[in-house]
Amino acid sequence: MLGGPSITNLLQLFLSALPFGPTGLPDYSTESSSLSTCKAIADAVSSASQVNYPPSDNFVADISHWAESSSIKSTCSVQPGTPEDVAKILKIVASSRTPFAVKGGGHTTNPGFSSTEGVQIAMSRFNTVTVNAADGTVDVGAGLTWDQVYAALDGTGINVVGGRIPGVGVAGLTLGGGYSWKSNQQGLTIDTVKAYELVLPNGTITTVTEADKDLWFGLKGGFNNFGIVTKFTYKSYPQTGTWGGLLQVSFDYADDFNAAVAKYTAETTDEKAALVVTYEGAGTSLALAAFLFYDAPSPPQGLFDNFLAIPSIASTVKRSTFLEFVMTFAAAAGPSGSRAFYNCAPVFEYTPTFLSAAIKEAQFWAERVSRLDPKATMSFSAEPFISTLLTHGAPSPYPPDRSRALLPTSTYTTWKNASLDQFMHDSIVQFTRNLVAIAVAEGQDVGGAAPYPNYAIYDTSLVRMYGENVPRMAAIKKKYDPDNVMGLAGGFKF
């Protein structure tokens, strides 16, 4: 029941901490001091780092994001090259109260989360991958994308638990949770972190491990609230050859396709299997695709037969290395060159009735938004993980409830016309609500289920995503960032 004292307190806490205006950008007005802050940073940092100004190519690269709507023209950008320089930059923005942003792979679709009108910090120089032979862990620089990590590990016989599509950043994916092709086996990416090299908001460089109770907890879903991560150390796992690829199916076979998804979701218990299916609505058409994966050179007899039996328009399904498998999605990965929002409709099950009703919703919204922008799309992805998904890790702020696997179903929309941003926001929010309502109507108890923070749109409430962990997160934030330095950067804030 809503309205109990603890919920009210949580909501008040959330509302008072909310730094966003209706556009999702932090409410701090950019001070004219940004330019002098840029100069101070350029004077302070070592030769390992570089400050860039518009319209240089480096500046354009530093502010660019996967979604055009997430890029903002900052006053300058800086590529720090060492943790010490990150510390100097944080001290300078803190003392001048200059808005700033921290960008890893730039894949957030929330404007202002890794972009700013002040100082754009681009982490791209933290770009090394080191295998520690002694304990089998892997150090990964916070500026890398997952495909770069897989390329570095290709041929080593080991791998880490990271993103599924080329281009996605190591940093944001890890700091928000991390759903991987290997999550059925090893859990979320946060469940596989051994250490973080973190520059605290006051400029102290520290290594956070399990011994650091609060920060260790906070970083498992807390994004940039506690400082800037420069390096992640992950557990590694043996990597053999793999099997999988992308299967595109005509809408004529939607019923067969949905039946295959529902049966796979209900029956699969094989940890090595993974599946993502996409329903992409554009105008009056809806495209079906299945991303099939098996973490061995061939899947067991029967596992994906219901998908493979459907006549396909195109298929890249084959045996390959893990790297080759991920790179087959390069074409599907963008850059989109569009404006875009992601959102999340978490559910417990993908039934045929849910999927066919969700398709009708996607068609309704795709048709509706395309009337205002012929390039606009509205889509969703089903991500059927197995029931033991969340049993691999310790308690974490996200997901707030690990007692049951929650399927993080993403919704996403793209468009071109910038004057439609608010309309597209409202449309995807309503579309997403309707998907959850379909699940509730068929008896799934997901009215209060936690949306995945890495998919959730910018105005999603902290309480919905992090549940009862919000007060603890706020306390950790207060302890490590008493001056609210990280409040100068956008994102979900505790």
Ligand X SMILES: Cc1cc2nc3c(=O)[nH]c(=O)nc-3n(C[C@H](O)[C@H](O)[C@H](O)COP(=O)(O)OP(=O)(O)OC[C@H]3O[C@@H](n4cnc5c(N)ncnc54)[C@H](O)[C@@H]3O)c2cc1C
| Of 194, 285, 261, 275, residue with least CA distance to 232 | 194
Segment interacting with ligand NAG (CB under 6 A) among 47-55, 229-237, 333-341, 415-423: 415-423
Q: Does 92 bind ligand NAG (CB under 6 A)?
A: no
Asked whether 119 and 38 are in contact (CB, 8 A), the reply is yes
Closest approach, Cβ 261 to ligand NAG, in A, equals: 35
Segment interacting with ligand NAG (CB under 6 A) among 25-33, 83-91, 190-198, 417-425: 417-425
Judged by beta carbon distances under 5 to 8 A according to partner kind, the member of ligand X, ligand NAG, none in contact with residue 103 is: ligand X
Interface positions, 235-294, toward ligand NAG (CB under 6 A) = none
Among 454, 465, 474, 487, binds ligand X (CB under 6 A): 454
Among 8, 130, 156, 204, binds ligand NAG (CB under 6 A): 204
The 3-state secondary structure of 298-325, one letter per residue: CCCCCCCHHHHCCCEEEECCEEECHHHH
Judged by beta carbon distances under 5 to 8 A according to partner kind, the member of ligand NAG, ligand X, none in contact with residue 104 is: ligand X
H/E stretch holding 428 reads helix 421-441
Strand partners, 79: 50
| Residues in contact with 62: Cβ distance below 8 Å, sequence separation at least 6, in sequence order | 52, 74, 77, 78, 79, 103, 120, 122, 124
Judged by beta carbon distances under 5 to 8 A according to partner kind, the member of ligand X, ligand NAG, none in contact with residue 200 is: ligand NAG
DSSP 8-state secondary structure symbol assigned to residue 461: -
Q: Does 333 bind ligand NAG (CB under 6 A)?
A: no
Q: Does 372 bind ligand NAG (CB under 6 A)?
A: yes
- Residue whose pair of structure tokens reads 């409709």 in the numeric block: 345
Closest approach, Cβ 204 to ligand NAG, in A, equals: 4
Q: Does 327 bind ligand NAG (CB under 6 A)?
A: no
Interface positions, 90-109, toward ligand X (CB under 6 A) = 102-108
| Residues in contact with 392: Cβ distance below 8 Å, sequence separation at least 6, in sequence order | 186, 187, 188, 191
Judged by beta carbon distances under 5 to 8 A according to partner kind, the member of ligand X, ligand NAG, none in contact with residue 26 is: none
| Of 454, 488, 484, residue with least CA distance to 101 | 488
Closest approach, Cβ 174 to ligand X, in A, equals: 8
Query: What is the amino acid identity at position 490?
Result: G
HSE-CB at 125 with a 13 A cutoff on CA atoms is 17
Judged by beta carbon distances under 5 to 8 A according to partner kind, the member of ligand NAG, ligand X, none in contact with residue 436 is: none
| Residues in contact with 69: Cβ distance below 8 Å, sequence separation at least 6, in sequence order | 109, 111, 339, 340, 341, 418, 421
Strand partners, 318: 244
Closest approach, Cβ 202 to ligand NAG, in A, equals: 4
Please, which residue, 405 or 476, has the CB nearer to ligand NAG?
476
Among 264, 342, 380, 480, binds ligand NAG (CB under 6 A): 480
Please, which residue, 106 or 400, has the CB nearer to ligand X?
106
Phi, psi for 162 (deg, rounded to 5)? -130, -155
Query: Which bin fits 120, alpha (ψ -120 to 50), beta or left (φ > 0)?
Result: beta
Judged by beta carbon distances under 5 to 8 A according to partner kind, the member of ligand X, ligand NAG, none in contact with residue 168 is: ligand X
Asked whether 377 and 366 are in contact (CB, 8 A), the reply is yes
Closest approach, Cβ 375 to ligand X, in A, equals: 17
Site of interaction with ligand X (CB under 6 A): 66, 102-108, 113-114, 123, 142, 163-165, 168-169, 171-173, 175-179, 223-224, 228-229, 333, 454, 489, 491
